[in-house]
A and B are shown apart, each in its own frame.
Chain A
Amino acid sequence: MPQKISLRIDGELIHTAGQRSILEVALEHGKFIPSLCHMKGLASVGACRLCIVEVAGVGRVLPACSTPVQDGMAVTTQSDKLRRYRKIALELLFAERNHVCAVCVSNGHCELQGLATKLGVTGVRYPYTFPKIGVDLTHKKFTLDQNRCILCTRCVRVCAEVEGAHVWDVSSRGVGSRLVCELNRKWGESRNCTSCGKCVQSCPTGALAEKGFAVEEMTKRTEPISRLTALRGVRP
């Protein structure tokens, strides 16, 4: 049994078990910390940098998803600086690819869109990149639209960690990074894909979607996956 610790999050005194991340504990206690790459049940990668928080006595901001709680810690989840940085991160995501909500299957159910609304991102100050990237419609049930991918790698992790197939990964680097199926196969030609659809359900945007849905129709559910990992004891 991990030892009990106490910490303050936004001033509230919280008692909890150690060995857990700030993000988990904060969410459990009804705090709002935005995140996109985090998904309950999957390993933390600290990629989206939206869950940054301030910890008293630490000079820099820390990602809540991969920073463990410590006894006596005082965490601030909202401040001008954090809000500013989170908005920049979202703006950068919008500027990076071609996120045209009006024609997206996930319009209205998209985590990126939802966070932008919640955090007050009303415009993007940075120039759009408008990369020319394609869509993979070769799978019989699902679609991959790289234009909407934010490289959160939830699909990569859910496939590798939960389904055990490791169909997805990221190729190249920097702004050239692309989600890639196996060793750059068409999804429809994948040898390992079990067509379980966990990746689609995990995807926060419309990048991975089921076929047969029109604009605004695609809704996703991550809770069954999180519950499954909890039952299996993979992660709490």
Chain B
Amino acid sequence: MRRITDLSAFNEVREAGLAKLLPPGPRIAIGMGTCGTGNGAESVYHAFADAINQRGLGVKLARTGCFGFCAAEPLVNVWLPGKPLVILQRVQPNDVDAILDDLLAGRMPAGLALCKIEEWDHITGHVKYGAGCPEIPHWYDTAFFKGQKKIVLRNCGLISPGDIDEYFAVGGYQALYKALIDANPEAIIESIKVAKLRGRGGAGYQTGIKWDFLRKAKAEQKYIICNADEGDPGAYMNRNEIESDPHSLLEGMIIGGYVMGATEGIIYARAEYPLAVHRLNSAIEQAKEYGLLGENILNRGFKFNLRLVEGAGAFVCGEETALIRSLEGKAGRPTPRPPYPAESGLYGMPTNINNVETWYNIAPIVIKGAAWFTETGSPKSSGTKVFSLVGKVTNTGLVEMPLGTPLKTFVYDVGGGGTNGRAIKAVQTGGPSGGCIPMDMFDTAVDYESLGQLGSIMGSGGMVVMDEDNCMVDVARYFIEFTHSESCGKCIPCRVGLDKSLHYLNRISHGKGTAADLELLDELSRMIRDTSLCGLGQTAPNPVLTTMRHFRHEFEDHIRAGRCRAGVCEDLALSPCENSCPLHMNIPRFLQLLKEDRLEEAFLSVVMDNPLPASTGRVCQHPCDDRCRRAGIDEAVNMREVHRHIADAIYPTERFDALAAQVAARRLPPTGKKCAVVGAGPTGLACAFYLALLGHEVMVYDSNAAAGGMLRYALPDYRLPKDVLDLEIELIRRTGVQFTFDTQVPKDVSLNDLDSQYDSVFLAIGTWKESWVYLPGTELTGVIPALPFLEAISKQQPVPLGKNVAVIGGGNAAIDSARTALRLGSKVTIIYRRERKDMPAIAEETEAAEAEGAQIMFLATPHRIIGSPDGKVQAIEAVKTRLGEYDSSGRRRPIPTDEIVRMACDTVILAVGETVDADFAKASGLKIKESGLIEVDRYTLETSRPNFYAGGDLITGASNVSNAMGYGKKAARKIDQRLTGERRWDQIFPKFDIDQTPPAHPSASGRHHVTEVDAAERAKTFADATIGLAPVEAMEEACRCLRCDIRNGDHQ
């Protein structure tokens, strides 16, 4: 190699580089950043090398950096002359032969193709690969890359980072050459100022102004430093940039040195990035050989030396003054500013520090000018920013987006939403220095100002997506643990303050926190933020402050209810399934009891946790399925069906009486207290059961003639046979619960009467009022609300149902109505305004309805009902919708189109949700929320009237059976505490001695499902539509459990 001293030598290198980039034959380049290598790129590379050798092929093989789509690693680029560059995803060594065969035959391996690139704008250069392959999507049309604009990552994944010639080939070092020939440093500073380039390290200071300071500083020696000490958990932008394209950094710094009058540059990189360090070192060597570093650069008389220093790994060394101290060989502790580094930096000399990414933006601005740069981004923040999008999102990877892009674009469009369709809860930007932004604020534009307003920061670009499995207390605790251990210890707020913050957060996550802790934590966090010496301390409390601001209820849950909804805080949850169960059933215990062949004890365990196990075993929404860790291996354990099996194995048999007696025997001695429960639905029954066991005298009032509420009068028989329900209620009755039927509160018995007769009153009358849709035609004959319809069927009253039924809605009531109508011989179409995945109904139910012949029209909003002259329903018209922007619930909003569909029908069932009967709410005299629901204390369920409690749908709005029962159970516990002033709850539960060793070999079997009765058969009758698990299947399900409830010795 020789020094480049003139333009012709420069162009020669460029030509040589182009010949490597676009060789006469096929080129295969394997993405070998740390990310690719970690996913097996090394073995893919060797497989290619061996195959090419063995076959003696003329194929050029190269190692490139990473193209950014981490979720699809290892990525391989293949190119044939005249064809586009095709990026293959998830390539494994055994794919190699097939890929080579395809290439040799002149084909692109379409099966593995992620996308194609026909031409690429390297900003400083332009490469045309070729056209064709219409079956492969363009890179900018794939979800992950759509909307991305690659300025910083312009060369990443496309050129070999180890070969300076390839960097020349895409226009590398042209900006440097231009800068040296133009010899007008002021003009460059001016254009950086006009370009409004801001520091990409996080603080966002104007780069041009900073450069101007150093240029104007007078000193014998000036330094420029690149801060490559990227230490945030979850952030790897700089690592990838350096690994994939080290020369862009060099070029930016050499230009910087020239412009600012510095002859010495230092790159301070993390020692934990060995590949980045290696590639930088070899890039520096190559640049020296070409005369791009050292004396008389490009023969223009400019001298500049660059060296690399490996940081020892302290996070605080990312702070500029600490970094400078570290470079000087001192301990990495920050010093107060002023003096700023531009006055007195390294060895007391004027110094400029910029982040890696800032340097990457220099060459494009020099070549393309400020006006071009400001075309991208928001008015105050030009250009793009690279983010590492990680966490609970489908498409993880490096994303370069224009500044000002809304957060939801990152999460839902590029990121593809939550993994496995989970609901996303928040995004943490800026790593430990940033904050959590909740989902309902995802409209926020990602730029310095907007994120700052929410208490977060942009930081260097980490973006961690969190879903419902993330506990926000734990998130705050995690980050404080990090900053606490990374604090240098110089100033008091950061050193001691973070230590105490961590103490409080630990306490809260162990369930030992108090409300006072929360206040102290809040005040302390503000003090640390406002008074710390350096950026680390000033930003360290951000995760606490933002989570306390946006997720305060989670902190309160931990403190007041000892509850970690996400199930992360180990001390507050037995297992993920138990934690997700509204009744907190000890699921691993009954599975283990069944496994140990102790059926009766299993029944006892189940029924003590959940007094309606056979009913819930059929109709529960089974949130446990979504949390089961077994799903990480194959599918969740079918816990709901196992407890249905256990219940069904006892209830209709002769063992029932003995077991019911055992349950009743758990009853504590009479307390002499009298409790009234209003409503004999699942909420009321659960509350009555536990109150009776706690020794209180319980009377349940209901306006109907039998107990069960919605279970009896809304759930059709094919879902829940009523003889099953009757036995369950019989068991509850045997604990001493009494019932008064056909009595309506407050019509027949007033609240005052109840107050005078009872020590406490629990209201659980549910939501029996069908919401009405206000659209033309609802007054017509043939329009019926769902609940009264289902109720009439269950009471075997006649219902005027037509032949063609349209059901409006997507909840369980809609599906129940549809399946009931089918059984009555009608044709049914369900009209739902969103997509299938957004339906609130249980997915199995929807599928069953379809199998039985129901049609579902998705993305359609009813617009009017058309009647005949005699006032009967004739047809329904719906506006077809398309999916628009994501709304604050993370679902795409339906937007009406011009298309209207008309469907002939004679009955319309409205099932758009149920609400509290407003007359009851008003008559009760209790405090009511704006939504019409009864207002209660979230933790004690107390209403505004002393001794009156409320729970279930009455306080939450229409929900589901297990949620409702959860409230009943909780209310009993709270009422007992208030009545007796003691904590007697645990006394009523029997203890079971079960095996506490984790199963060494959990059953390898897949999930067992219930047997569905043939759709055509079952649609004819109201008999049970499913047949529960067989004993051997239930046993196998129990054996599939991984026993997440077992703890290490130190947790017991």
Q: Are B500 and A174 in contact (CB under 8 A)?
A: no
Q: Are A93 and B492 in contact (CB under 8 A)?
A: yes
| Docked complex Cα distance between A176 and B530 (Å) | 23
| Docked complex Cα distance between A126 and B531 (Å) | 18
Nearest CB of chain A from residue B178's CB, rounded to whole Å = 41
Q: Are B496 and A95 in contact (CB under 8 A)?
A: yes
* A residues less than 8 Å from B338 (CB atoms): 66-68
* A residues less than 8 Å from B485 (CB atoms): 174
Contacts A61-B531, A127-B503 hold; do A88 and B524 have CB atoms under 8 A apart?
Answer: yes
Q: Of all chain A residues, which has the CB nearest B492?
A: A89
* A residues less than 8 Å from B493 (CB atoms): 49, 88-89, 92
Q: Are A45 and B520 in contact (CB under 8 A)?
A: no
* A residues less than 8 Å from B500 (CB atoms): 92, 95, 126-127
* A residues less than 8 Å from B523 (CB atoms): 84, 88
Residues 123-158 (chain B) with a chain A CB within 8 angstroms: none
Verify if A162 is at the interface (C-beta below 8 Å from B): no
Residues 29-47 (chain B) with a chain A CB within 8 angstroms: none
Contacts A49-B531, A125-B520, A129-B499 hold; do A173 and B336 have CB atoms under 8 A apart?
Answer: no
Residues 81-128 (chain A) with a chain B CB within 8 angstroms: 81, 84-85, 88-89, 92-93, 95-96, 125-127
Nearest CB of chain A from residue B347's CB, rounded to whole Å = 16
A151 touches which one: B331, B495, B524 (CB < 8 A)?
B495
Interface size on A, residues (CB 8 A): 36
Q: Are B533 and A47 in contact (CB under 8 A)?
A: yes
| Docked complex Cα distance between A89 and B493 (Å) | 6
| Docked complex Cα distance between A194 and B336 (Å) | 30
Q: Of all chain A residues, which has the CB nearest B532?
A: A49
Nearest CB of chain B from residue A121's CB, rounded to whole Å = 13
| Docked complex Cα distance between A151 and B494 (Å) | 13
Interface string of A125-159 (1 = CB under 8 A from B): 11101000000000000000000001100000000
Verify if B776 is at the interface (C-beta below 8 Å from A): no
Verify if A200 is at the interface (C-beta below 8 Å from B): no
Verify if A63 is at the interface (C-beta below 8 Å from B): yes
Residues 51-91 (chain A) with a chain B CB within 8 angstroms: 52, 60-61, 63, 66-68, 81, 84-85, 88-89
Q: Are B503 and A93 in contact (CB under 8 A)?
A: no
* B residues less than 8 Å from A47 (CB atoms): 490-492, 533
Nearest CB of chain B from residue A133's CB, rounded to whole Å = 14
Verify if B335 is at the interface (C-beta below 8 Å from A): yes
A174 touches which one: B331, B489, B527, B531 (CB < 8 A)?
B489
| Docked complex Cα distance between A126 and B500 (Å) | 7
Q: Are A174 and B336 in contact (CB under 8 A)?
A: no
Nearest CB of chain B from residue A75's CB, rounded to whole Å = 16
| Docked complex Cα distance between A234 and B134 (Å) | 76
| Docked complex Cα distance between A104 and B335 (Å) | 32
Q: Of all chain A residues, which has the CB nearest B524?
A: A88
Verify if A6 is at the interface (C-beta below 8 Å from B): no
| Docked complex Cα distance between A118 and B331 (Å) | 34
Q: Of all chain B residues, which has the CB nearest A66?
A: B336
Q: Are A126 and B484 in contact (CB under 8 A)?
A: no
Q: Of all chain A residues, which has the CB nearest B489?
A: A177
| Docked complex Cα distance between A44 and B486 (Å) | 23
Q: Are A48 and B492 in contact (CB under 8 A)?
A: yes
Nearest CB of chain A from residue B543's CB, rounded to whole Å = 17
Q: Of all chain A residues, which has the CB nearest B497?
A: A92
Nearest CB of chain A from residue B525's CB, rounded to whole Å = 11
Q: Of all chain B residues, which has the CB nearest A97?
A: B496
Interface string of B194-238 (1 = CB under 8 A from A): 000000000000000000000000000000000000000000000
Contacts A95-B496, A129-B499, A177-B495 hold; do A172 and B531 have CB atoms under 8 A apart?
Answer: no
Residues 6-63 (chain A) with a chain B CB within 8 angstroms: 44-49, 52, 60-61, 63
Q: Of all chain A residues, which has the CB nearest B500?
A: A126
Verify if A170 is at the interface (C-beta below 8 Å from B): yes
Contacts A52-B531, A92-B496, A93-B496 hold; do A45 and B490 have CB atoms under 8 A apart?
Answer: yes
A96 touches which one: B335, B496, B527 (CB < 8 A)?
B496
Q: Are A173 and B487 in contact (CB under 8 A)?
A: yes
| Docked complex Cα distance between A150 and B489 (Å) | 11
B491 touches which one: A49, A61, A170 (CB < 8 A)?
A49
Which of A61, A92, A96: most chain B Cβ within 10 A? A92
Verify if B699 is at the interface (C-beta below 8 Å from A): no
* B residues less than 8 Å from A44 (CB atoms): 336
Contacts A45-B336, A48-B491, A127-B503 hold; do A85 and B497 have CB atoms under 8 A apart?
Answer: no
* B residues less than 8 Å from A170 (CB atoms): 331, 489-490
Q: Are B489 and A151 in contact (CB under 8 A)?
A: yes
* A residues less than 8 Å from B499 (CB atoms): 96, 129, 174-175
* B residues less than 8 Å from A46 (CB atoms): 335-336, 491, 533
Interface string of B515-532 (1 = CB under 8 A from A): 000001001100100111
Contacts A68-B338, A88-B523 hold; do A173 and B488 have CB atoms under 8 A apart?
Answer: yes
Interface string of B1006-1039 (1 = CB under 8 A from A): 0000000000000000000000000000000000
Q: Are A45 and B492 in contact (CB under 8 A)?
A: no
* A residues less than 8 Å from B527 (CB atoms): 84-85, 88-89
Nearest CB of chain A from residue B432's CB, rounded to whole Å = 14
Contacts A174-B499, A175-B495 hold; do A61 and B530 have CB atoms under 8 A apart?
Answer: yes
| Docked complex Cα distance between A178 and B103 (Å) | 64
Q: Of all chain A residues, which has the CB nearest B534?
A: A46
| Docked complex Cα distance between A6 and B704 (Å) | 85
| Docked complex Cα distance between A128 and B333 (Å) | 26
| Docked complex Cα distance between A46 and B334 (Å) | 10
Interface string of B525-553 (1 = CB under 8 A from A): 00100111100000000000000000000
| Docked complex Cα distance between A129 and B486 (Å) | 18
Nearest CB of chain B from residue A27's CB, rounded to whole Å = 18
Interface string of B450-486 (1 = CB under 8 A from A): 0000000000000000000000000000000000111
| Docked complex Cα distance between A60 and B538 (Å) | 10
Verify if B314 is at the interface (C-beta below 8 Å from A): yes
* A residues less than 8 Å from B498 (CB atoms): 174
Which of A88, A93, A96: most chain B Cβ within 10 A? A88
Q: Are A174 and B492 in contact (CB under 8 A)?
A: no
* A residues less than 8 Å from B495 (CB atoms): 96, 151, 174-175, 177
Q: Are B520 and A173 in contact (CB under 8 A)?
A: no
* A residues less than 8 Å from B335 (CB atoms): 45-46
Q: Of all chain B residues, which has the CB nearest A172?
A: B489
Which of B488, B497, B527: most chain A Cβ within 10 A? B527
Q: Of all chain A residues, which has the CB nearest B316?
A: A173
* A residues less than 8 Å from B489 (CB atoms): 151, 170, 172-177
* A residues less than 8 Å from B532 (CB atoms): 49
| Docked complex Cα distance between A85 and B492 (Å) | 11
Nearest CB of chain A from residue B606's CB, rounded to whole Å = 42
Interface string of A155-172 (1 = CB under 8 A from B): 000000000000001101
| Docked complex Cα distance between A52 and B523 (Å) | 17
Residues 323-356 (chain B) with a chain A CB within 8 angstroms: 331, 333, 335-336, 338
* B residues less than 8 Å from A88 (CB atoms): 493, 497, 523-524, 527
| Docked complex Cα distance between A176 and B498 (Å) | 13
* B residues less than 8 Å from A85 (CB atoms): 527, 530-531
Nearest CB of chain A from residue B790's CB, rounded to whole Å = 57
* A residues less than 8 Å from B487 (CB atoms): 173-175
Nearest CB of chain B from residue A60's CB, rounded to whole Å = 6
Q: Of all chain B residues, which has the CB nearest A87?
A: B527
Nearest CB of chain A from residue B621's CB, rounded to whole Å = 42
| Docked complex Cα distance between A126 and B316 (Å) | 26
| Docked complex Cα distance between A84 and B489 (Å) | 22
Known pairs A46-B491, A61-B530, A66-B336. 15 more at Cβ < 8 A?
A: A45-B335, A45-B490, A49-B493, A49-B531, A85-B527, A85-B531, A92-B496, A126-B524, A127-B500, A129-B499, A174-B484, A174-B488, A174-B495, A175-B484, A175-B487
Which residues from chain B sit less than 8 Å from chain A, CB to CB? 314, 316, 331, 333, 335-336, 338, 484-493, 495-500, 503, 520, 523-524, 527, 530-533
5 tightest CB-CB pairs across the interface, nearest first? A177-B489, A66-B336, A46-B336, A92-B496, A174-B487
